[in-house]
Amino acid sequence: MNARCVSSEANPNQQSFPVSYLINKCGFSLGSALSASKRLTFEIPDQPDAVIHMFKRYGFCDADIFRLIKRYPRVLSCNPDKTLLPRLEFFYSKGMSNTDIAHILCGCPLLLGRSLQNHVTPNFNLLSDLLLSDNKVISAARNDPFILFRHGDRYLKPFINLLQDHGVPRTQIASLICNWPRSIGVCLNHFRKCVEEVREKGYDPSSAVFIRAVVVLSQLGKAGWERKTIVYKSWGWSEKDILVAFRKNPWSLMTSESKIMAVMKFFVEKMDCESLYLAKHPNLLMYSLEKRLIPRALVLHFLLRNKLIDKKPNLNTLFVYSEKLFLEKFVNCFDEAPQLLKLYRDQSDLAK
């Protein structure tokens, strides 16, 4: 990385060697370098240069290396052969790519300070036994690198035991940890309340949607749930309607308030729907207005206006169809296909 210019008042040559190194080699500001250097003791470039060289040997790009250093400056004081090499070799032995390792270590550089033998390896093996796949452990760690950092026995097992006590099957617990590991990064008592509330809402613990509902509630919290319900109620939904939508698609409660308002307005004003239509089909709340809903609606209105179809099709089907199937059913089968395709593509391109 190119050295940065500093004023004569803050000339790095007048500072300690670690400060100078962090500024000139790693792009730190003076203030950041002064703060980070308090725990660095090297006086010549050999040690930090060897660390950087080790990461480059294992395929790390400059951007990842310097991002890691900025998040965890003490890595420059690590012994490359005794500290870094065994960890890198371990991660590679489990099937991680260069990109995986860089992503995980930049996300949780504190892993470099954990014992490989007493912590990182047992944690990885615990997760592998649960998920039945090293690749799924890697996916979980990419989604939340801290899952390898926290103590598995004290942190992970209580969540697993809680879910098992409520009748959640092992496969669904594995799905939670692999896809949404941050959901079990919350307080155990908060997580317990979410699980109990989802059961009270009528979900079957053995179903896949049960875990999704727990994830949503754990991330939303009580205040978030209340904000969403206020928006839905402003469109005439009852508590029962909200629960119906939540049971069908828990992610509908994760949609932002502004997005809910915009999609509701679109269906009520442009598609001539009752607002409760979306309670029955909450998946429609998840689609992009600009990239999916509006372009397809324009095609539909063209077809109706020009009497190319006799009646409005099922809207849920219209919007759920894959791109290929939508074009087959509503664009390419008509003589006006070029005009329809242009109408559809032009609107879609505007959203990019």
Does the pLDDT of residue 3 top 60, yes or no? no
Q: Report pLDDT for 349.
A: 54
pLDDT at 348: 61
Distance separating alpha carbons of residues 176 and 178, to the nearest angstrom = 6
Distance between CA atoms of residues 287 and 157, nearest Å = 36
Q: How far apart are CA 321 and CA 311, in angstroms?
A: 18
DSSP state of 30: H
Q: What residue type is assigned to position 55 of the chain?
A: F
What's the mean pLDDT in 19-38? 81
Mean pLDDT (whole number) for 10-25: 70
Confidence at residue 58, expressed as pLDDT on a 0 to 100 scale: 87
Give the pLDDT confidence score for residue 71 in this predicted structure: 87
Give the CB-side neighbour count of residue 164, counting CA atoms within 13 A.
10
In this model, does residue 331 exceed pLDDT 70? yes
pLDDT at residue 1 in the model: 44
pLDDT of residue 31: 83
pLDDT digits (tens, 9 = 90+) for 155-186: 889 999 999 999 999 999 999 999 999 888 88
Say if residues 78 and 41 touch (Cβ distance below 8 Å): no
- The mean pLDDT value of the chain amounts to 88
Whether the per-residue pLDDT at 48 is higher than 60: the answer is yes
Alpha helix positions (H), the chain: 17-26, 30-36, 46-57, 62-71, 85-93, 98-107, 121-131, 134-143, 157-165, 170-179, 188-200, 208-233, 239-248, 257-265, 277-280, 294-305, 315-320, 323-330, 337-350
Please determine, for residue 131, whether its predicted confidence score (pLDDT) is greater than 80: yes
